């Protein structure tokens, strides 16, 4: 396997703090290619031999803006219970239709391929959300996601709005309200 040639912007790039634009269809060929590259990159970043070969940091999700493309597109690659088998989510023009009351957070903190440092603190996320979005052909669909996939969706939707997870952590009180939420 060869690593797709993509360059991931880091948190100090101002584009990561800009709001991405709605996507129109049909998708441009270069955007289809970008989506394929993002999926391939994320998959490889979760495979031990590829991590070692290319010195990768593991990631679950990428938004187009992280590649400098200000379009409302993200992908999430989730390894299934069967090792080496991945489920891909391709999410274009997402809107959160509803969410649970319950909030959760990742105990060890969230990570981001654009944030290459340890950040202390937690980000409150909804335990379950229902999202309306479009696929690569522009067909609308609805999806309900929960737990870590729900967190990943919310993290990526934030990217589309120019928000990084680190922006949501209060450095003076990085574990604020954690006792009102469930840790996962």
The bridge status of strand 103-105 relative to strand 182-183 is: parallel
Q: How many residues bind Ni ion (CB under 5 A)?
A: 1
Point out the residues that are catalytic: 156
**7 or 81: whose CB is closer to Ni ion?**
7
Is 112 a binding residue for Ni ion by CB under 5 A? The answer is yes
Tell me the three state secondary structure of residue 2.
coil
* Least distance CB 66 / Ni ion (angstroms): 7
Tell me the three state secondary structure of residue 90.
strand
* Residue in this structure with the two tokens 């990526």, named with its chain if needed: 156
Q: H or E segment at 52? A: helix 48-54
**40 or 156: whose CB is closer to Ni ion?**
156
Residue nearest to Ni ion (CB): 112
Please give the full DSSP string across 146-168, using - where no structure is assigned. Answer: EHHHHHHHHHHHHHHTT--GGGG
Name every residue whose Cβ is closer than 8 Å to that of residue 128 and which is 6 or more positions away in sequence: 99, 100, 102, 144, 145, 146, 147, 150
**108 or 179: whose CB is closer to Ni ion?**
108
**149 or 179: whose CB is closer to Ni ion?**
149
The whole-angstrom separation of Cα 48 and Cα 119 is 24
* Least distance CB 139 / Ni ion (angstroms): 26
**19 or 139: whose CB is closer to Ni ion?**
19
* Least distance CB 78 / Ni ion (angstroms): 15
Contact between residue 174 and residue 118 where contact means Cβ atoms under 8 Å apart: no
Paired with 21 in beta bridges are 71
* Least distance CB 25 / Ni ion (angstroms): 25
* Least distance CB 42 / Ni ion (angstroms): 11
Q: Which residues bind Ni ion (CB under 5 A)?
A: 112
């Amino acid at each position: 396997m060869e690593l797709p040639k993509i360059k991931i912007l880091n948190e100090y790039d101002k584009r990561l703090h800009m709001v991405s634009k709605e996507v129109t269809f049909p998708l441009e060929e270069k955007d289809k290619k970008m989506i394929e590259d993002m999926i391939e990159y994320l998959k490889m970043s979760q495979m031990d031999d590829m991590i070692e070969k290319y010195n990768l940091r593991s990631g679950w999700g990428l938004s187009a803006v992280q590649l400098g493309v200000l379009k409302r597109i993200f992908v999430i690659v989730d390894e299934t219970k069967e090792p080496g088998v991945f489920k891909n989510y391709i999410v274009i023009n997402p809107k959160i239709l509803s969410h649970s009351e319950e909030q959760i957070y990742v105990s060890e903190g969230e990570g981001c391929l654009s944030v290459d440092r340890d950040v202390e603190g937690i980000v409150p996320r909804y335990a379950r959300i229902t999202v309306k979005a479009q696929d690569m052909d522009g067909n609308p669909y609805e999806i309900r996601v929960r737990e870590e996939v729900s967190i990943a969706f919310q993290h990526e939707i934030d990217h589309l709005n120019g928000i990084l997870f680190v922006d949501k952590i209060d450095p003076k009180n990085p574990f604020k309200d954690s006792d009102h939420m469930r840790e996962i």
